[in-house]
Structure 1
Amino acid sequence: MERRTFLRGAVAGASAAAFVGTLTHGAAYAAPAQNGPGPYGALGAADANGVQLPSGFTSRVVARSGQVVAGTSYTWHSAPDGGACFADGTGWIYVSNSEINPSGGAGALRFNSSGTVTGAYRILSGTRQNCAGGATPWNTWLSCEEVSLGYVYETDPFGVNAAVRRDALGRFKHEAAAADPVRKAVYLTEDESDGCFYRFVPTTWGDLSAGTLQVLKAGTATSGTFTWATVPDPDGAPTTTRNQVTGAKRFNGGEGCHYANDTVWFTTKGDNRVWQVNLAAGTYELAYDDSLVSPGTAPLTGVDNVTGSTFGDLYVAEDGGNMEICVITPDDVVAPFLRITGQSSSEITGPAFSPDGTRLYFSSQRGTSGSSSGGITYEVTGPFRR
């Protein structure tokens, strides 16, 4: 059964419906994605914002680091990184981490139904190097510290409730998170060259104050079966979490993570791979490997943040490469979707769709300056497949 069976029906917002798949699952052993024509055609010339897009798509800048967001009094944070969108009445909210150490944290942009920015504000302060994270079905944002013995903070995208540190999710070099309402678990990546892939099973679903941290165990192959084993000391001291369980599978630099319909995808930057874990079948495999792409040169390198569309396409952002977001289609074709020009010293971060699937948000973390103070946050609008 092709990958679309797992992806389709997932919504890019943070309501419970965003995480509940209604389609059946099947075997998850298809070849890694290969070069082919993208669903939207070739990229056009760079627009006024330096973004190359397929025909029918347009871009705009919605925020710049160190500058007041238009129509608000809030100064956008430096080094914008992982992000997500949340439904907000007739509009939506885009949250974005700040990968600064110290004083990272996260901010938010609020949009009305026509896409106009109506507010901007801080939702997390005083933390360290907040890289990626993940949305929960109960409308919170998990902001992850990408430092040794880092924490996960549960934040309120609406800016009402104070952020809470969630110690039970373990202390390690956190990267991204993805919530699974079927198995009532949160999956976590670790940005270490010998990192692991984890899941946290809360004692009560919807409450991350207590629960069990587990690590994926499997062989050394790129496909096979797996099991979960409990991490004895989630606080990571004196032994790091990744070294507490014999047989824990190693992954080279865990990055983005995305869940939809009994499957979780995550990326590893050290080997330019996208991994696909069939949670119902208890199997894993490669959805993409740049060393296995044919014909020609691999379009996707420096794999990083990842998100999915309601249609079933994966969108993978590059840290390095040639500043592209590439799409991996349900029939296992990989192709560039957009490219940012003139920003070779930056990386693309935080891709996330608006709840209706018509707008894609993301950032260039260091923009044209190559400095964390030069970040640019974009919106792309167009005929996305839904």
Structure 2
Amino acid sequence: MSATRREVLARTGALGAGIAFTGAFSELFTGTAAARGHGGYGPLVPDPGGLLDLPRGFSYKVLSREGDQLRSGEGPVPSNHDGMAAFAGRRGRVHLVRNHENRHNGRIGVPTVEGLTYDPMGKGGCTALELDGRGNVLGERVAIAGTAVNCAGGPTPWNTWLTCEETEDRAGTNGYTKDHGFIFEVDGADPHRTGAVPLTAMGRFQHEAIAVDPRSGIVYETEDAFERPFGLFYRFLPDKPLGGTGSLRAGGALEAMRVPGVPDLSGIQEIGASFDRVEWVPVPDSQAKETPIRLQDFGPKGITHAQKLEGCYWGGTSVYFVSSFARSSEGSAGDHFGQVWKYEPHRRRLTLVIVFGPGTDVQLPGESPDNICLAPSGGLMVCEDGNGAQHVYGLTKRGEVYPTARNAQNIGTPEEPEWGEFAGVTFSPDGDTMYVNCYSPGTTFAVTGPWC
């Protein structure tokens, strides 16, 4: 019962067939626009400036571009803009914390800053922007440096950002002087308050994104492993939950999800498929001293894997996580162009709520979901990371997929155009502005318009 993008686009008026998703994630859709059946904002209008195509009535402002100088004077704006979150500041200000997924050979690394640098040889990290109530940039500075491949992460209930390293490189590899593969906590308003301390108890693996249960303080983590066996879905049980900055440094227990009888989530294709006996298995060696976690011995029942585990988001009483795609030719149990899964902790229930593909038109929105966030309309806003045209697109309770933005920056050639992925979609605390990154060339946009 998987759906091609042509099918899920039908309700936007683009094509003539349709599909309604299950109501498994209905508590996530609480906005007024969702209640009246939000169907999108209309067709995208080509941008005369060649940067970002938006629906009529919307406009954008470029907040930051790679290579420009940071307002702090610390150096150039780093490249590879990735995960991001927005936090409320004083007097109506907004703090944006932005990841830079730089590897050892990245184009423009995050400048090293005393007290904020973990490994001087790491080129990844985060920068922080401060905006006034009118969306003007007041400041831009390094928030953490010396990390590696900072892909996604997620916000905490105490208004800090957890930035995730998507690598397992050890000291001595690629010139690094310290082990990598950790999560770091970043305070966008005062980076020196959090410093550059790895949260080692949360595991050392190819991290992607996190979501925090605001009731229990449990942190859910996705792993985007590039080779078989693919990544796992984890939960971290902190010894001092919900204690603000410093609480995650107190340690805790890392566990991996086991779905009995399901070794690979990509083998599940039926929307609404549900599993009520999800188990959480202690990770034998969370630091992966000898063996990557996904290769460790989890007992005779094994553990549950999934290819391209990416975005992770808390909504209502559940955590949602994304598999961007699965390819049987690469070792997965099935093929799809994107899944969204929902886990209900109070019921120990896992449900497949969305499947895309594999039949698809890569020039239309709806392929390879990556970063996700809650939209003011009450639905989900999704960054696309696939082939062809790249979009930010919305998903509604009624099964609608609608385009919100299209990257117009051609990084290929006129004959063979190519567009960088979107990442880090997030909204201002008042819901009036969508912030989103273009990965390459690294660009941070603020988009305003009639969001509800």
TM-score norm. by structure 2 comes to 0.73
From 123, 126, 129, give the equivalent of 1:106.
126
Segments of structure 1 that go 5 or more residues without pairing to the other structure are 10-35, 368-374
8 Å Cα contact 2:131/2:139 also seen in 1:
yes
* Counterpart check, 1:334 vs 2:401: yes
Matches within 5 A, 1:218-367: 218=259, 219-220=261-262, 222=268, 223=273, 224-225=275-276, 226-244=278-296, 245-246=298-299, 247-271=302-326, 272-291=338-357, 299-321=365-387, 322-343=389-410, 344-367=418-441
The CA distance in 2 between the partners of 1:139 and 1:311, in whole Å, is 23
Give the deviation of 1:160 after TM superposition.
3.5
Give the deviation of 1:315 after TM superposition.
1.0
The CA distance in 1 between the partners of 2:359 and 2:374, in whole Å, is 21
* Counterpart check, 1:155 vs 2:207: no
8 Å Cα contact 1:255/1:305 also seen in 2:
yes
8 Å Cα contact 2:50/2:409 also seen in 1:
no
1:81 alignment partner in structure 2: 82
The CA distance in 2 between the partners of 1:265 and 1:109, in whole Å, is 28
* Aligned CA distance change for structure 1 residues 40 and 293 (closer, same or farther; 3 Å): farther
RMSD over aligned CA atoms reads 2.4
Alignment-mate amino acid for residue 209 of structure 2: A
1:139 alignment partner in structure 2: 159
* Counterpart check, 1:130 vs 2:163: no
* Aligned CA distance change for structure 1 residues 269 and 73 (closer, same or farther; 3 Å): same
* Aligned CA distance change for structure 1 residues 236 and 326 (closer, same or farther; 3 Å): same
* Counterpart check, 1:203 vs 2:239: yes
The CA distance in 2 between the partners of 1:8 and 1:124, in whole Å, is 35
The CA distance in 2 between the partners of 1:297 and 1:264, in whole Å, is 30
Give the deviation of 1:72 after TM superposition.
5.5
Give the deviation of 1:310 after TM superposition.
4.2
* Counterpart check, 1:92 vs 2:94: yes
2:62 alignment partner in structure 1: 61
8 Å Cα contact 2:407/2:419 also seen in 1:
no
Structure 1, residues 256-291: CA drift from partner, whole Å, max 9, x if none? 111111121222223322222233332222332222
Segments of structure 2 that go 5 or more residues without pairing to the other structure are 1-22, 32-36, 105-122, 170-180, 327-337, 411-417
8 Å Cα contact 2:38/2:377 also seen in 1:
no
Aligned residues: 351
8 Å Cα contact 2:221/2:233 also seen in 1:
yes
Alignment-mate amino acid for residue 175 of structure 1: E
1:13 alignment partner in structure 2: none
* Aligned CA distance change for structure 1 residues 176 and 318 (closer, same or farther; 3 Å): same
The CA distance in 2 between the partners of 1:310 and 1:326, in whole Å, is 13
The CA distance in 2 between the partners of 1:352 and 1:208, in whole Å, is 24
Moved more, 42-51 or 210-219: 42-51
Alignment-mate amino acid for residue 355 of structure 1: P
1:20 alignment partner in structure 2: none
Three-state SS of the structure 2 residue aligned to 1:208 is helix
TM-score norm. by structure 1 comes to 0.84
What percentage of residue pairs aligned between the two structures are identical? 34
- Structure with the larger strand share: 1
Larger Rg: 2
8 Å Cα contact 1:325/1:338 also seen in 2:
yes
